[in-house]
Structure 1
C-alpha cells in the first residue's frame, strides 16, 4: 500500500478504474480510509504526486473523521440517544440503572457482551416498529434481519425481508423509528420516487429531522469500537 510521508504517515489505497478519466481522492467518514481512484493506464508515481499536491486537504478531511472510542468499563456508550456509563454489575444480565449500564462478568469481555446486548434490544425495537408501520399500510413484513452495515442503515427486498443496522439502537429512538418507517415504505414503492416519500410522510411525518440527524451523527455511531 503506498504511503504519503508525514506526521502521521498516510496509507493510501489505489483503485484503478477503466471509467476514471482523472485522479480523485476520497476520505471515508467511517474509518478515515484514503482511496485514490486513477485511470487504468496511469502510473502510480503520477497518482502519488497528485496525492502529495492534495496533502493539505487530505489532512483536514482526516481531522474531521470521528475518532471512535473503544467500549470499556468506566467509559460511556450512547444508548437510545443518551450516554450511559459502563460500570461493573452483579448477577448475569446487563441492565440499565439510572445513567449507568451495569455489566457483570469479565471486564475484558465487556465490548462483546455489550454489543450482543445492544443488538438484542435493537432487534426487539426494530421488529416491533416495522410490524406496526407495515400494519398501517396493509402490508406484512416477512423477516427482520440485523447487520453491522457501514454503507446503509436499512434495506428492503421485494419479498418483504427487511435488514437494519443494529447500531440504530445507539441513536435517539425517533431516528430508529424513521429508519423503520423508511424501509417499510419500500414494501409499497421499491424506489425513492415522490410516491415513495409520500408513503414515508404518511408513516412518519417530519422524517426530514431524523434523516438530517443520521447524516450529521451517523458516522459517530459507526466509529464506536466494540
Structure 2
C-alpha cells in the first residue's frame, strides 16, 4: 500500500541461474525509479528487477546474486498455488466456500449455502469464477469505501479494481484509489483496514504521524490486518 502509482515500461522475463538453481526474473525499466530494486512476486513465483534509467542489466544481476540466499528463501517459502476447480475451495470474506461446477446452470456464478456454483463448460470455470470475484470486489469494497470515507469526508475521485502482484491498494495524487480485487477473499476486518489506509492517503500523501492518527480514527484493525496479510496474503496471490 503506497501513496502513489509507479509507471514502469513493459517487462521482459528470462531464466537466470542463481546459486545453482534456475529462477525466473522479470526485468522492468522504469523512468520513475530512483534506484535499482528487486522483489519477489508471490503471484507468479518470480523475481522482479526494476532498473532506473541508464542502469545496466549487469548491475541488476550483481544485486540479485548478492541477495541469492534471501531470494531463494523467499521463493521456497511461498505457498503452493491453489487452482480453483470443481470440488475445490475459494475464500470469500475470509470464509471458505466450496466450488461446485453446475454445467446446466443458467445463472453464471452464484452463491448458495456457502457454495459458489459456476455454470457453463468446465474449461471456463476458473475464468468465470475470477470474473465473479472481481465483480464482488467492486461491489463490496466500493461499499466499504463509502461507509468508511463518507462520514470523514474522504471521497475518491475514481475507484479502480485491479489484479496487482504486490500491492493491496494505492492512492494517487489525483484522488484515484486502487484496490486489489483479491482483497474480497480476505476477512472483513482486513478489507476494512486496507480501505481505510488508502482513504487516509486522500488527505495525507505520506506515512507521517498525521497519516497514522487518521488511520487509527478510521479503523481499529490495523495491527491484526497487517499481521494477517503478512501471513496469508501470499496465499491469496497464488489462488487462481
TM over 0.5, yes or no? Answer: yes
Cα deviations by residue, 1:129-180 (Å, 9 ceiling, x for unpaired): 1112222212322221111011211111233221111110011111111111
Q: Cα RMSD (Å) of the superposition?
A: 3.4
Q: What TM-score comes out, normalization by structure 1 length?
A: 0.80
112, 116, 132: which one pairs with 1:97? 112
Cα distance in 1 for partners of 2:122, 2:138 equals 25
Kept in 2: contact 1:92–1:105 (CA 8 A)? no
Residue 144 of structure 1 aligns to a residue whose secondary structure is strand
| Counterpart mapping for 1:3-14 below 5 A | 3-4=16-17, 9-11=21-23, 13=25
Cα deviations by residue, 1:200-223 (Å, 9 ceiling, x for unpaired): 100102321112211221111111
Kept in 1: contact 2:196–2:218 (CA 8 A)? yes
Deviates more, 1:87-96 or 1:182-191: 87-96
**Which residue does the alignment assign to 1:216?**
231
Q: Which 5+ residue runs of structure 1 have no aligned equivalent?
A: none
Q: Which 5+ residue runs of structure 2 have no aligned equivalent?
A: 1-13
| Distance verdict in 2 for CA 1:34–1:82, change over 3 Å | same
**Which residue does the alignment assign to 2:76?**
63
**Which residue does the alignment assign to 2:184?**
169
Cα distance in 1 for partners of 2:129, 2:44 equals 21
Q: Does 2:201 correspond to 1:186?
A: yes
Deviates more, 1:109-118 or 1:95-104: 95-104
Kept in 2: contact 1:25–1:34 (CA 8 A)? yes
**Structure with the larger RCO, 1 or 2 (CA within 8 Å, 6+ apart):** 2
| Counterpart mapping for 1:29-44 below 5 A | 29-34=42-47, 40=56
| Larger-gyration structure (1/2) | 1
Deviates more, 1:92-101 or 1:11-20: 11-20
**Which residue does the alignment assign to 2:212?**
197
| Distance verdict in 2 for CA 1:118–1:41, change over 3 Å | closer
Cα distance in 2 for partners of 1:157, 1:14 equals 25
How many residues align structurally? 218
| Counterpart mapping for 1:129-140 below 5 A | 129-140=144-155
Kept in 2: contact 1:131–1:141 (CA 8 A)? no
Cα distance in 2 for partners of 1:54, 1:141 equals 39
Kept in 1: contact 2:42–2:166 (CA 8 A)? no
Cα distance in 2 for partners of 1:35, 1:145 equals 23
Cα distance in 1 for partners of 2:28, 2:90 equals 39
Kept in 2: contact 1:30–1:65 (CA 8 A)? no
Kept in 2: contact 1:30–1:66 (CA 8 A)? no
Q: What TM-score comes out, normalization by structure 2 length?
A: 0.75
